[in-house]
């Protein structure tokens, strides 16, 4: 009996321990949502929890790190998170002081207003499976279902009146744009209620055209439920349940518990259900509630669904940790429940949740009580009342007809139609989920950007990294967006000399590069096997575009765009003490580099040396959110710091001055300097953008036409004088810069405009009626509407030349900065002369790529036969070529030197005048080797597994030149799991410098995520590259240090969906072309290819791979290596391990280590060696 009691006690302790682990993950999320949160406490508890728990999918780690990132940035001066409630109060206080008639009049003259750039839709490119942005609340007019409201946590409330074909933002003048609940009054569809993250309950009585606050609740309002008679309203929040019985005139709390879901019993509004982490029931119309526990296994987050098909039924979905836990059903109106299915009866192939603390939803058919739909990471359906489920669509398969973007947060079943809100937008199905339609494509612009980057050479090109929807690129004259990277897009930028070279990152600092404007994905090897911050600092040298910098626990520089893993630690002289948060390099002098880690800043004035000298300049308060350097003065630097602080220094950080002044007491997020003499500075905050300069005594609002959305990044395109803004919920915006002219006098319009014709030239003259204008702009209408054709200073005449036949109308207005007068009178004139004069081309530009110069120009004539191109290499201009029907030409393989170009049009008998002249300097790159990429002559000679029985996916398909065929590990027969490998014979020795992997072109099973590439040195396999790939059908590349070999083997460590298979559609190598060497290799064609041992890492054997409780290392070179061996997590932390060495084998006890990838690091022949291993 005592033994049995002891056993029971042991089991109870184990179960308690398991439940404690799950509860801790849940508590971390709940803690991160609390107001007045102490940030250090959240960080400390999270680090402690994840030291001993998995950080993979379903662990909640990614969600925790995202929440921690924002908590740290939004700290007040006491280290507590500035709440959305405080943001509203502070911004309203600022606006009351600022919005006087005098100040608004001045702003109208100095601020032109923001324009939204988008994205307004997304394109399903081959690079990924994106969506547009996050939707967490939906309200539908149930009868016609043409009127739909959608709420975004950061993007505001939107409305469509045509079923989703087009969308209009409502309430952009609200300070809080984080909308968590919406409801339409069932008695009047023009009356709409919303709840935001500041606890505000807003009401509109005119279909959303205007809003007023009717109440303020505690917690985030997650559900608004309105009685059919419109009088009784329930508001369920993350803290309590509120009720009004007088149409919202007053509210009272009826339940002091998390109540994020509330429902009436269909047909009986006296019965009301509420749930959060527990389930509650009322039988008196919501006046009081009782907690129901019968049949419920645990106390943890739940969502609820009811159906008129069986009013007595109530369904609950409950999480377990961050994953799926249980489906419960009640058949007696919520008095008791039974478990229909659970994590023990369903696999992730049936129901897949990964961050259910946030993303979890359930709904039930209104005509079939057994048809249940649930969503989390993926979307699934049950037709037997929740006992079994079929996955209708995977988040990674956008081609599926039921595709729904990942991270589903809301589902509704309304009169036979299903609506789904997820991190990618809003989706609808009218056939039980068999087919889904994405409704966001009508302009629902709610993308949450972290960072953006301008193209200095193309004003129409911007790259941006966004939460859950990857990295995309705006490009082309129509400014359309195309998707590039997946995951959470972070820091990104465009080469300032070549717009085709684009760089990007995802969370924790994986690095990517494209050399074709985002049409392909290239991996950049990191400086080491470690991770950076959630948003890892990454930038290009503003002077030398070949140099890029990335910040982990040190700052690293590559002098060749990240090629071949060529990174140098340039902070080895200092101990940063943690991952870097921010950095900036002076545009005027790249020796000035500033870096920040939390509340510490260092700067160097000799940053281009191989080992710069760093000085700490941290005499300020708060942690650094952003650094900006004046483009004209490397010692003028500003930082946005926590505690609502903005500091500026004019001596490179030796002294700092807090210039917060009259800014609202909310978090400063980003900064950028103008390049004018008045030292203009812009700051983006938790809500709004603000501006100051040397002539202003305080900050002024720079938020005209801008919604009250959180800002994340500011960039200036100096060539066009445009300010760009990244927002966390409303995409990218653009504005003219602040007009620094403080003249208060109104500009009087010009008058007496007249026009005269001389052949094809129209000369305009007018009367100047003002004494404070800077000049005049001239507009012309050729039948397509007015557009500007020119501007002049200090003159009252203008000639419009070389016009084609037609009728033209002109008007003129005066301007001063961004302020304009009214227009003058209009004049009309008709041009009827016909001649054969060829109008010269204009706007000639030159772009340099390696040794090739690409010219582009504007064609101004309609009667030319082509264009001749002339070049001046210092000996005078001479023709080098001509083109027909093109406005571009590439001059290739140029020697080092300075070249000038000009272009003119021609026909059969005449030439136009020349275009403008452009000059370009070509550097000598003759020492750079000629790198080729292919796998011609390759033979895949070995693998551990291949599918040849059920389909032809043999190893040879991995290098057959056809991306539509692929090698795939065996489907069923050999039951092998990771790691998988293929071994490749290149046919001859090559100087290999990189490789490319291309995944299968249909489906994702087997797509490789983590990998290692080895090369044979004649006696051992040497590790050449390690990293991870995106879930993509595009070719993905990685470079490494030059290595001479004939044999490679590619080891797949994991799969993008976490399954046990591997596949390769095409494998190719990058190598230095050496024709002389090819001749000498003939004698080696018959050598025996080396075998592959999956446990061998360059002479060191590590097994088992993957490991579980212990890891055995054989071949350690010395006792010193044994003593110094470390097991390092991907976050860079060294983990405590127990080691036993018997003289030959080193046995490492790793039973306390959580699942995931680790680095074994030790010293071998005075060199540091690293081996990546995986614990299952």
Residue by residue, DSSP assigns 244-293 as ESSTTS--EEEE-S---EEEEETTEEEEEEEESSSEEEESSTTSS-EEE-
1080-1114: pLDDT as tens digits:
444 455 678 888 776 666 667 787 777 778 888 88
Spacing of C-alpha 693 from chain mean position: 32
For tokens 């070999």, name the residue.
Answer: 1045
- Please state, in angstroms and rounded to a whole number, the distance separating the CA atoms of residues 946 and 968: 6
Cα angle value 993/503/528 (rounded, 5°): 55
953 three-state secondary structure: strand
- Of 326-335, 959-968, 1069-1078, the range with the highest mean pLDDT is 326-335
Please give the pLDDT value at position 26. 60
* C-beta of residue 474 within 8 angstroms of C-beta of residue 445: no
Strands (DSSP E) contained in 964-1104 are: 967-968, 980-998, 1010-1016, 1021-1028, 1035-1052, 1063-1064, 1066-1072, 1096-1097, 1100-1103
- Please state, in angstroms and rounded to a whole number, the distance separating the CA atoms of residues 1137 and 352: 33
Angle between helices 39-50 and 2-32 (to 10 degrees): 140
Strands (DSSP E) contained in 17-118 are: 114-118
Least confident of 133-142, 254-263, 352-361: 352-361
For tokens 């030349």, name the residue.
Answer: 801
Architecture of domain 295-445: 7 Propeller (2.130)
595-626: pLDDT as tens digits:
999 999 999 999 999 999 999 999 999 999 99
Give the pair of three-digit tokens for residue 46.
């999270």
- Please state, in angstroms and rounded to a whole number, the distance separating the CA atoms of residues 1147 and 1122: 10
CA nearest 291: which of 336, 357, 240?
336
DSSP-assigned letters across all residues of 1107-1138 = BSSEEEEE----HHHHHH-EEEETTSPEEP-E
491-503: pLDDT as tens digits:
999 999 999 999 9
- Please state, in angstroms and rounded to a whole number, the distance separating the CA atoms of residues 803 and 805: 7
Give the pair of three-digit tokens for residue 811.
């008007």
DSSP 698: S
Cα angle value 84/90/96 (rounded, 5°): 135
Strands (DSSP E) contained in 25-136 are: 114-118
121-131: pLDDT as tens digits:
887 665 556 78
* C-beta of residue 516 within 8 angstroms of C-beta of residue 501: no
Mean pLDDT across 570-585 = 96
1107-1156: pLDDT as tens digits:
778 888 887 777 777 777 888 776 667 778 888 887 778 888 877 777 77
Q: What is the mean pLDDT of the chain?
A: 88
CA R_g for the chain: 33
* C-beta of residue 248 within 8 angstroms of C-beta of residue 201: yes
Percent of the chain with pLDDT over 70: 92
CA nearest 155: which of 470, 444, 472, 471?
444
Rounding to the nearest 10 degrees, give the CA dihedral for residues 444, 445, 449, 454: 150
Spacing of C-alpha 134 from chain mean position: 12
Helix ranges (DSSP H) in 353-473: none
Please give the pLDDT value at position 771. 80
* C-beta of residue 608 within 8 angstroms of C-beta of residue 564: no
Mean pLDDT across 937-943 = 93
Strands (DSSP E) contained in 23-178 are: 114-118, 137-140, 148-152, 156-160, 168-170
- Please state, in angstroms and rounded to a whole number, the distance separating the CA atoms of residues 1038 and 997: 9
Rounding to the nearest 10 degrees, give the CA dihedral for residues 420, 422, 424, 425: 50
* C-beta of residue 298 within 8 angstroms of C-beta of residue 260: no
In the chain the first and final C-alpha atoms are separated, in Å, by: 38
Fold of 842-922: Immunoglobulin-like (2.60.40)
In this predicted structure, the answer to whether residue 157 has a pLDDT above a threshold of 60 is yes
983-1015: pLDDT as tens digits:
999 999 999 999 999 999 888 889 999 899 999
How many H helices and E strands in the chain?
A: 7, 90
Please give the pLDDT value at position 727. 98
- To which CATH superfamily is domain 133-292 assigned? YVTN repeat-like/Quinoprotein amine dehydrogenase (2.130.10.10)
- Of 87-96, 110-119, 726-735, 912-921, the range with the highest mean pLDDT is 726-735
Least confident of 230-239, 546-555, 811-820: 811-820
- Please state, in angstroms and rounded to a whole number, the distance separating the CA atoms of residues 88 and 71: 17
In this predicted structure, the answer to whether residue 1061 has a pLDDT above a threshold of 80 is yes
* C-beta of residue 507 within 8 angstroms of C-beta of residue 490: yes
In this predicted structure, the answer to whether residue 967 has a pLDDT above a threshold of 50 is yes
Please give the pLDDT value at position 15. 37
CA nearest 407: which of 347, 487, 315?
487
Mean pLDDT across 917-931 = 76
* C-beta of residue 87 within 8 angstroms of C-beta of residue 81: no
Please give the pLDDT value at position 96. 81
- Please state, in angstroms and rounded to a whole number, the distance separating the CA atoms of residues 967 and 1088: 23
Per-residue pLDDT band for 3 (boundaries 50, 70, 90) equals: very low
- Please state, in angstroms and rounded to a whole number, the distance separating the CA atoms of residues 997 and 262: 50
Q: Domain spanning 1095-1176: which CATH class is it, in words?
A: mainly beta
pTM of the full predicted structure? 0.75
Residue 27 has phi, psi (to 5 degrees) of -65, -35
CA nearest 895: which of 929, 931, 853?
853
Please give the pLDDT value at position 18. 40
For tokens 């994702």, name the residue.
Answer: 1004
- Please state, in angstroms and rounded to a whole number, the distance separating the CA atoms of residues 314 and 298: 17
Per-residue pLDDT band for 802 (boundaries 50, 70, 90) equals: confident
Give the pair of three-digit tokens for residue 83.
């709440």
Pairing mode of beta strands 657-658, 645-649: antiparallel
1082/518: higher pLDDT: 518
CATH number of 751-780+796-831: 2.60.40.10
Please give the pLDDT value at position 108. 55
In this predicted structure, the answer to whether residue 925 has a pLDDT above a threshold of 90 is no
- Please state, in angstroms and rounded to a whole number, the distance separating the CA atoms of residues 814 and 365: 63
- Please state, in angstroms and rounded to a whole number, the distance separating the CA atoms of residues 223 and 235: 6
72 three-state secondary structure: helix
Architecture of domain 449-736: 7 Propeller (2.130)
Give the pair of three-digit tokens for residue 1117.
């070179």
- Please state, in angstroms and rounded to a whole number, the distance separating the CA atoms of residues 1070 and 1013: 13
Mean pLDDT across 672-692 = 95
103 three-state secondary structure: helix
Other Cβ atoms within 10 Å of 125 Cβ, number: 19
In this predicted structure, the answer to whether residue 58 has a pLDDT above a threshold of 90 is no
Please give the pLDDT value at position 1167. 63
């Amino acid at each position: 009996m005592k033994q049995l009691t002891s056993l029971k006690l042991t089991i109870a302790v184990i179960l308690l321990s398991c439940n404690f682990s799950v509860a801790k993950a849940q508590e971390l999320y709940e803690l991160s949502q609390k107001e007045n949160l102490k940030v250090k406490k959240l960080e400390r508890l999270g680090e402690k929890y994840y030291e001993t728990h998995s950080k993979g999918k379903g662990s909640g780690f990614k969600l925790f790190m995202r929440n921690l990132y924002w908590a740290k940035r939004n700290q007040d001066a006491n280290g507590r998170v500035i709440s959305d409630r405080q943001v509203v109060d502070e911004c309203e206080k600022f606006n009351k002081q600022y919005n006087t008639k005098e100040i608004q009049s001045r702003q109208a003259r100095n601020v032109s207003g923001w324009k939204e750039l988008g994205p307004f839709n997304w394109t399903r490119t081959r690079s990924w499976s994106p969506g547009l942005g996050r939707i967490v609340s939906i309200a539908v007019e149930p009868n016609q279902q043409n009127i739909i409201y959608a709420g975004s946590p950061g993007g505001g409330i939107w409305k469509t009146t045509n079923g989703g074909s087009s969308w209009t933002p409502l309430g952009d003048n609200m300070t809080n744009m984080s909308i968590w609940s919406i409801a339409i009054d069932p008695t009047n569809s023009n009356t709409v209620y919303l709840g935001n993250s500041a606890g505000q309950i807003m009401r509109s009585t005119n279909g959303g055209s205007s809003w007023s606050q009717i109440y303020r609740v505690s917690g985030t309002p997650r559900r608004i439920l309105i009685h059919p008679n419109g009088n009784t309203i329930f508001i369920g929040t993350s803290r309590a349940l509120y009720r009004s019985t007088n149409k919202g005139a007053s509210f009272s709390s009826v339940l002091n518990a998390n109540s994020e879901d509330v429902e009436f019993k269909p047909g009986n509004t006296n019965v009301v259900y509420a749930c959060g982490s527990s389930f509650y029931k009322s039988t008196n119309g919501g006046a009081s509630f009782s907690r129901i526990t019968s049949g419920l296994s645990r106390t943890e987050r739940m969502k609820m669904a009811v159906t008129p098909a069986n009013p007595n039924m109530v369904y609950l979905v409950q999480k377990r940790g961050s994953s799926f836990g249980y489906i419960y059903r009640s058949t007696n109106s919520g008095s008791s429940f039974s478990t229909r299915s659970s994590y023990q009866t369903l696999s992730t192939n049936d129901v897949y949740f990964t961050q259910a603390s946030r993303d979890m939803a359930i709904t039930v058919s209104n005509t079939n009580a057994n048809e249940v739909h649930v969503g989390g990471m993926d979307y699934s359906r049950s037709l037997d009342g929740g006992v079994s489920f079929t996955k209708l669509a995977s988040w990674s398969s956008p081609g599926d007809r039921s595709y729904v973007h990942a991270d589903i947060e809301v589902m509704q079943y309304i009169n036979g139609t299903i609506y789904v809100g997820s991190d990618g937008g809003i989706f609808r199905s009218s056939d039980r989920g068999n087919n889904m339609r994405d409704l966001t494509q009508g302009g629902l612009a709610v993308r949450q950007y972290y960072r953006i980057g301008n193209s200095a050479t193309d004003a129409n090109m911007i790259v941006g990294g966004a939460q859950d929807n990857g990295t995309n690129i705006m490009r082309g004259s129509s400014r359309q967006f195309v998707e590039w990277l997946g995951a959470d897009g972070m820091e990104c930028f465009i080469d300032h000399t070549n717009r085709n070279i684009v760089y990007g990152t995802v969370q924790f600092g994986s690095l990517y590069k494209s050399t074709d404007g985002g049409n392909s994905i290239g991996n950049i090897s990191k400086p080491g096997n470690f991770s950076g911050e959630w948003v890892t600092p990454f930038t290009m040298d503003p002077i030398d575009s070949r140099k890029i910098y990335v910040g982990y626990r040190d700052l690293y520089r590559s002098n060749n765009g990240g090629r071949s893993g060529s990174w140098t630690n340039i902070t080895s002289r200092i101990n940063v003490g943690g991952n870097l948060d921010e950095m900036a390099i002076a545009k005027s002098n790249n020796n000035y580099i500033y870096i920040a880690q939390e509340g510490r800043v260092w700067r160097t004035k000799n940053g281009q040396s191989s080992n710069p000298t760093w000085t700490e300049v941290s005499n300020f308060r708060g942690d650094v959110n952003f650094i900006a350097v004046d483009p004209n003065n490397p010692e003028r630097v500003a930082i946005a710091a926590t505690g609502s602080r903005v500091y500026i220094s004019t001596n490179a950080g030796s002294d700092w001055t807090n210039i917060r002044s009259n800014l609202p007491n909310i978090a400063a997020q980003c900064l950028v300097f103008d390049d004018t003499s008045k030292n203009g500075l812009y700051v983006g905050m938790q809500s709004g953008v603000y501006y100051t300069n040397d002539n202003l005594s305080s900050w002024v609002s720079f938020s005209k036409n801008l919604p009250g959305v959180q800002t994340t990044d500011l960039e200036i395109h100096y060539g066009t004088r445009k300010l760009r803004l990244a927002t966390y919920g409303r995409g990218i915006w653009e504005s003219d810069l602040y007009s620094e002219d403080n003249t208060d006098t109104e500009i009087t319009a010009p008058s007496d405009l007249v026009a005269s014709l001389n052949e094809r030239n129209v000369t305009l003259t007018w009367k100047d009626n003002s004494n404070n204008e800077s000049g005049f702009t001239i507009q012309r209408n050729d039948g397509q509407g007015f557009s500007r054709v020119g501007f002049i200073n200090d003159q009252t005449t203008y000639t419009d030349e070389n016009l084609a036949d037609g009728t033209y109308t002109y008007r003129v207005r005066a301007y001063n900065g961004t302020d304009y007068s009214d227009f003058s009178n209009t004049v009309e004139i008709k041009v009827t002369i016909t001649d054969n004069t060829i109008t010269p081309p204009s706007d000639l530009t030159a772009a340099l790529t390696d040794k090739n110069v690409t010219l582009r120009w504007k064609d101004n004539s309609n009667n030319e036969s082509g264009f001749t191109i002339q070049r001046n290499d210092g000996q005078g201009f001479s023709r080098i070529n001509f083109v027909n029907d093109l406005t571009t030409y590439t001059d290739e393989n140029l020697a080092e030197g300075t070249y000038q170009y000009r272009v003119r049009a021609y026909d059969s008998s005449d030439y136009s005048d020349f275009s403008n002249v452009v000059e370009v300097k070509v550097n000598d790159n003759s020492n750079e080797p000629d790198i080729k990429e292919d796998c011609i002559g390759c033979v895949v000679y070995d693998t551990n597994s291949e599918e040849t029985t059920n389909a032809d996916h043999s190893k040879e398909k991995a290098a057959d030149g056809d991306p539509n065929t692929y090698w795939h590990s065996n489907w069923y027969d050999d039951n092998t799991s990771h790691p998988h490998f293929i071994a490749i014979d290149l046919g001859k020795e090559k100087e290999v410098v990189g490789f490319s992997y291309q995944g299968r072109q249909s489906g994702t099973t087997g797509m490789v995520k983590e990998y290692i590439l080895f090369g044979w040195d004649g006696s051992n396999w040497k590790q050449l590259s390690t990293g991870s790939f995106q879930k993509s059908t595009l070719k993905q590349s990685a470079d490494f240090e030059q290595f001479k070999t004939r044999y490679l083997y590619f080891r797949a460590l994991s799969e993008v969906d976490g399954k046990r298979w591997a596949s390769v559609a095409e494998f190719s190598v990058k190598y230095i072309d050496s024709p002389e060497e090819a001749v000498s290799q003939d004698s080696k064609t018959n050598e025996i290819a080396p075998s592959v041992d999956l446990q061998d890492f360059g002479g060191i054997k590590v097994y088992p791979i993957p490991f579980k409780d212990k890891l055995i290392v054989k071949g350690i070179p010395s006792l010193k290596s044994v003593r110094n061996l470390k097991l390092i997590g991907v976050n860079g932390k060294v983990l405590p391990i127990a080691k036993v060495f018997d003289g030959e084998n080193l046995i490492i006890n790793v039973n306390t280590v959580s699942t995931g990838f680790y680095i074994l690091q030790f010293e071998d022949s005075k060199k540091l060696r690293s081996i990546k291993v995986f614990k299952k």
